[in-house]
Amino acid sequence: MRPTRLQDTNEAFVPSQNETSYQSLSSGNFTSSPFLDTNLEAPLEKLPQRKKPKTESEANNNSVETITRAELVEKVYVGIDSIAAITTEIRGIHSLMEKREREREREREREREREPTMFGMLSMTPNLDNRARYKALGLVHKLGMKNAFLKMLPEERSEWILYNME
């Protein structure tokens, strides 16, 4: 196809692959104009293609994909197996967390058992009868001195109780 003169229509010259992309402006195919230098060569501007080429993914989406029922079932089973494996892992982690919480609770219980009780400390205090122990227990709680009382030596507790009961 040879370059032709542009007319008043919307036609445009598009060179084929065999033709050069340059044309001489002085070839006489164009209407001469006093504003154009006819001795220049200019590259022809390639017009964009009217249809956008399909990408590979678009081509795949439009084509009919032939997948057998067996292949589809296999994919579903693989997905289900993956979900089952994840579920098993989550259950295992949950079980370990519950076990750890039960162990922590048992340890807290053991600490409470080892912790000296007020009445146990009063029982180990010398020179007190049960009546004095009960009054001392009420006094310690009333004054809010449990921690200080537990830190005292047995003899100090005895003296403190006798002093406060006078």
pLDDT in the model for residue 83: 93
Amino acid present at 18 = N
Tens-place pLDDT, residues 85-119 = 999 999 999 999 999 999 999 999 988 887 778 88
Whether the pLDDT of residue 64 is over 90: the answer is: no
Q: Would you kindly state where each structural domain of the chain is located, as residue ranges? A: 56-114, 118-165
User: Which comes out higher in pLDDT, residue 81 or 54?
Assistant: 81
**Using CA atoms, how far apart are residues 26 and 15, in angstroms rounded to an integer?**
18
pLDDT in the model for residue 55: 64
Structure tokens at 154: 């047995």
**Using CA atoms, how far apart are residues 30 and 4, in angstroms rounded to an integer?**
8
- Which residues partner with 22 through β-bridges? 43
pLDDT in the model for residue 61: 56
Q: How far is CA 96 from CA 83, 84, 99, 103, 128, in A?
A: 20, 18, 5, 11, 50
